[in-house]
Every structure is written in structure tokens, then in C-alpha cells.
A and B are shown apart, each in its own frame.
Chain A
Amino acid sequence: MNGKERILARLRGESTDSLPLMPITMMYAGDLIGQPYRAYATDYRVLAEGQLRTAERFDFDYVSAISDPAREASDLGAAVEWFDNQPPAIIESRALIADKATLDTLALPDPESPGRMQDRVQAVRLLAERAGTDKIVQGWVEGPCAMASDLRGLNTLMFDLSDDPAFVEALFDYAVRMEVNFAKAQVAMGATLIGVGDAAASLVGPRLYNQYVQPFEKRLISEIQALGVLVELHICGNTRRIVKGMGETGADIIDLDFLTPLSEARAAMTPHQVLLGNIDPVRALRDGTPESVEAALAECYAQAGPAYIVGAGCEIPRGTPQRM
């Protein structure tokens, strides 16, 4: 079985020759090829090289165009702080939609036009060309809550959920329309799986998640699936109280952070729902030993059952030892 066959078999509920491996690597992949992260996040050729070499080195079953949450926001004109060797960050104090009225003036960005979205689309193209036969090629988009917080500011969005839910819904709707377009461009270039990252959703609690966030996640996921590809939902942080709703989004893969026990996710979902995760990236991986990693992985498998793909709670941290 090659990596692609292994992941697809797992998603069909069939047996595999080994556990599929889909750990997120970003800074780790940049470091592996000796490139500063700024180059990794701005030049698709560097990203593709990092992904291909990392996947080869560790026999991963996929490669991914994930890099940072600021691609869409950058193309829309949001203020972004750049660093030489870590991911760019959106400057919340200068949020693009600081004034709510700005939302009505924003057109949907074109992922085919020069910019950071196009760079990701090109990364997907190159990854598909070089590895698409053997490995799953993952594109990436922001989820509605994450994208809304990128544009409005996370702190402000938390107030908006109570102060002006109608505005939040309009903002989520805009985010979904933008991300479906972005996904479409990546699928056209050969993405076989789209990751949806919605970290901010872990902060809002079950009432607001189920009422406002989850319906838009569900819509985004279903519209991407209608393009003929698989979808992975990744929400960093503690999702214990919203994990049932996550399982009801229809995502093919639910990717969980280490703060949410896989046993709880499994209890909240069907035995067939594929779970991905959730080894503690810092304590078990970066600061761990081969023995502690093996023990953590065995525990994940015991809790998740057979519908399971190996990954860490979030990206493999920079500095994680390479012992094999």
C-alpha cells in the first residue's frame, strides 16, 4: 500500500497494512531543509520541498500546503507582522474589519490572482505533480470562526457573538463563500483532501458553537465535499464540550488537539468516524523519548479504535528530536 491507498482505505473503513501517518509539519519541515520559515510561507517551491523531504524522511502518507492563517487575510489587505523564522501573524489592533461596515465593501479575493492564496494553490499544484500518485495532497482553508477572527480580531469577535450575532453570521457567511472558492482553486490543482482549520471555535463553548459556528462549518465542509474531495476538520485547543457538534459537521476526518481525549470524541461519535491526533506535541513529542512517543501512540489507538490516523495535537514542534 502506498500512503494514498492507506489513507483512502482507512476512510472507507477497510483494513490497512499499517496505521496511516498524517502529522502536521510546518516549521519542522522548513527547518529540515534548512530554510527560514518566511521563505517556507512565501515561496511555494520551498514549502513543497520541505513537505516532500519531510514526508520521505519519516514515511508520512500525505503532504500538505498548510503554513499559517494569514494567507486570505493578507490578500484582503489585513495588516500582518512578518518574522524571519516563524509564521506571520495578523495584527489584531489594526484589524481589517475594525469597523463593521467594512464587511459590506469587501469583495471575495481571487485565489488565482497574484498573492498569498495563489502561492498556496501553486504549492498544491507542485505537491500533486511530485507526489500525487503516492500520497494524499492536502490543501488548506480557514474555518468560519478562524477567518472571522482573522478579519475582525479575535477579542472583538468574542464580544460580537453576544452583542451582534447577525453581524457574526454575515461575517461567517462571507468567510464560507471565500473559503469555498479557495478550496475550489486548490482542488483544481490536484488537492485530494482539504483541511479546515478553525482554532478560534474552541474558545466559544457549546452554546455559541452549536448555534452559530457549527452550522457554518457544516456548510463549508459540505460545499467542499461537493467538489469531490475529502475534508478534515482541525480545531486546536480544548474542544471537549463541542466535540459532539464537530462530529456532526460531516467532516471525513476529525483532527483533535491533545486537550480533548480521543475516548471522549469516540464516545460522542460513531465507531466509523475517522479521528486524527492527538499526541501532546510538546510534552510527549518534543520533550519526549521514543518510549514515551510509543506509549502515547498506543494510548491514542486504544482510545480511538481502528478508525484512527496518527498525528499530534497540532503541528510537530520545531526542535522535536529526529530519533528513528
Chain B
Amino acid sequence: MPDLQKLYDAVLNGDQKTSVAITREALDAGTDPMVLITNYMVPAMDEVGRLFECEDYFVPELLLSARAMKGSLELIRPLLAARGDEPVGRVVIGTVKGDLHDIGKNLVGSMLEGGGFEVIDLGADVSAERFIEAVQTKNANIVCLSALLTVTMPSMRTTIEAMKAAGVRDKVKIMVGGAPVTSQFAEEIGADGYSDNASSAVALARRLRAEATA
């Protein structure tokens, strides 16, 4: 049995090679895959989020940690799916129509994945129709809309309006974020939550899930 603290350290330090090796070793030794996620990977990504928020970690460090975590998750996911384990929640995420700037969306998606959510990443420049289709086909609980430009912020409103018209708005909680987005704007367009950074987006998603399942 490998020293699982090394999995925590590898994710925290962005060492994908080690995180994958330890994960493989642990799974081969019969460790419950959910234990690896809950006891080591989620706490490591929580710490990454904390370091990011207090500006000890920056975008490169966060992306490296996310890459290490994803390497391990690739080994773990099929095992969880095979035994029917459900994630904390299913998130559909993308930058809204007209916006190709995706690094903020990628940071949030990675942190949510690190928080135990299944993340369905629709990429950049995503139409309202694609968000709606993903909600309908992926059994999502949360939709995250990202925009970096003031000129693409109106696409957030039109996406939410289109979701209402398609009858899927009330099936999900909607989170919005991006440099020019404000909590006031989020409220105006009828979103359920706003976060100004990737780390607090995880706390927001957890709260929205808790509210929905209460």
C-alpha cells in the first residue's frame, strides 16, 4: 500500500506523474477509489484554492495541480461509474456566445472537479442551444456561465432567457462569473449565484447543491 499522503502532496505540488503513479498503486492494492478522492484529492484541491485566494498560488500552479488531479481522476472515474457512484453534482460550464476567453472558465471547472463535481465542459463561445441541450442530456444540476468581455455579458442574459423558454431553467442552479461581471448584474439577469474567483466558486456550488437537495 502506497503512502497516500504522497497523493495529497502530488496534487498540491502539481506533480501529475506522481499523482497518477500513487493512484494506480493504491487502486491495485484495493483502496476504495472514493477514499482517494474524498480524503486526499479534494482536500489537496481545497488547499490549492486557499493558496490561490491568498495569492501564494497563481494560474500556472493552479493549472498544474488540476492536471495532476485529472490524471488520477481518469483512473478512478471508470471504477466509480461501474459501481454506480454519483458525484457531488453535475456542472455544465462554458464561456457564453461570442466570448473566446476561456482561462477563467478552465480554472473554475478545474476547481469544481477538484471539489468532487462532475464537470461537463462545453468549451468557449457556447450558444444557448448547446447549454440547453447539455442540461437536457447530461442530467446537470448546475450551469456555469463565463464572460471576460463587457460586450459578451448580454449573452449571459440571453442564455438564461433561452433556458427559461426551453423549460429547463428551473432544473438547474445558474452561476455566473468573469472579470466584468458583478453580483448586481448576476441578480439582474436572474442567476442564482456569482463568484469573483475560482476557489469561492466551489463553495458557492456546494451551497447551491445543498439548497437544492435540502
Q: Are A203 and B58 CB-contacts (below 8 A) given A81-B100, A162-B14?
A: yes
Complex CA–CA separation, A208 to B60 (angstroms) = 9
The answer to whether the Cβ of B55 comes within 8 Å of any Cβ in the partner chain is yes
Q: Across the interface, do B60 and A318 meet the contact criterion of CB distance under 8 Å?
A: no
Complex CA–CA separation, A83 to B98 (angstroms) = 8
Q: Across the interface, do A282 and B101 meet the contact criterion of CB distance under 8 Å?
A: no
Interface locus among B26-34, B145-153, B158-166, B204-212: B145-153
The answer to whether the Cβ of A76 comes within 8 Å of any Cβ in the partner chain is no
The answer to whether the Cβ of A27 comes within 8 Å of any Cβ in the partner chain is yes
Q: Nearest Cβ in chain B — how far from A260, in angstroms?
A: 12
Report the nearest B residue to A158, measured CB to CB: B60
Q: What residues of B have a CB within 8 angstroms of the CB of A85 in the complex? A: 151
Q: Are A204 and B182 CB-contacts (below 8 A) given A81-B100, A162-B64?
A: no
Q: Are A155 and B103 CB-contacts (below 8 A) given A83-B98, A318-B151?
A: yes
Q: Across the interface, do B100 and A203 meet the contact criterion of CB distance under 8 Å?
A: no
Q: Which of A90, A205, A319 contacts B61 (CB 8 A)?
A: A205
Q: Across the interface, do A283 and B182 meet the contact criterion of CB distance under 8 Å?
A: yes
Tell me the count of chain A residues lying within 8 A, CB to CB, of chain B: 32
Q: Mark A84-107, 1 if CB is under 8 A from B, else 0.
A: 011101111100000000000000
Is the interface on chain B under 10, 10 to 19, 20 to 34, or 35 or more residues? Answer: 20 to 34
Q: Across the interface, do A89 and B101 meet the contact criterion of CB distance under 8 Å?
A: yes
Q: Nearest Cβ in chain B — how far from A104, in angstroms?
A: 24
B45-69 contacts to A (CB < 8 Å): 55, 57-61, 63-64, 67
Report the nearest B residue to A282, measured CB to CB: B180
Complex CA–CA separation, A113 to B50 (angstroms) = 49
Q: Nearest Cβ in chain B — how far from A4, in angstroms?
A: 30
Complex CA–CA separation, A205 to B62 (angstroms) = 11
The answer to whether the Cβ of A229 comes within 8 Å of any Cβ in the partner chain is no
Instruction: Please classify the interface of chain B as helix (H, G, I), strand (E, B), loop, or mixed, using the class held by over half of its residues.
Output: loop
The answer to whether the Cβ of A240 comes within 8 Å of any Cβ in the partner chain is yes
The answer to whether the Cβ of B25 comes within 8 Å of any Cβ in the partner chain is no
Q: Which of A86, A204, A283 contacts B151 (CB 8 A)?
A: A86
Q: What residues of A have a CB within 8 angstroms of the CB of B60 in the complex? A: 158-159, 161-162, 203-205, 208
Q: Nearest Cβ in chain B — how far from A74, in angstroms?
A: 14
The answer to whether the Cβ of B102 comes within 8 Å of any Cβ in the partner chain is yes
The answer to whether the Cβ of A45 comes within 8 Å of any Cβ in the partner chain is no
Report the nearest A residue to B150, measured CB to CB: A317
Complex CA–CA separation, A27 to B106 (angstroms) = 27
The answer to whether the Cβ of A272 comes within 8 Å of any Cβ in the partner chain is no
The answer to whether the Cβ of B192 comes within 8 Å of any Cβ in the partner chain is no
Q: Across the interface, do A90 and B55 meet the contact criterion of CB distance under 8 Å?
A: no
Q: Which of A89, A159, A161, A318 contacts B100 (CB 8 A)?
A: A89
Q: Across the interface, do B102 and A158 meet the contact criterion of CB distance under 8 Å?
A: no
The answer to whether the Cβ of B9 comes within 8 Å of any Cβ in the partner chain is no
Q: Are A240 and B58 CB-contacts (below 8 A) given A81-B125, A86-B152, A317-B150?
A: no
Point out residues on A near B: beta carbons under 8 Å: 27, 81, 83, 85-87, 89-93, 154-155, 158-159, 161-162, 203-205, 208, 237, 240-241, 281-283, 286-287, 317-319
- A-B residue pairs in contact (CB < 8 Å), sample of 22: A27-B151, A83-B98, A85-B151, A87-B149, A89-B100, A89-B101, A91-B100, A92-B102, A155-B106, A158-B103, A159-B63, A162-B14, A162-B60, A203-B58, A205-B57, A205-B61, A208-B60, A281-B180, A282-B150, A286-B150, A317-B180, A318-B151
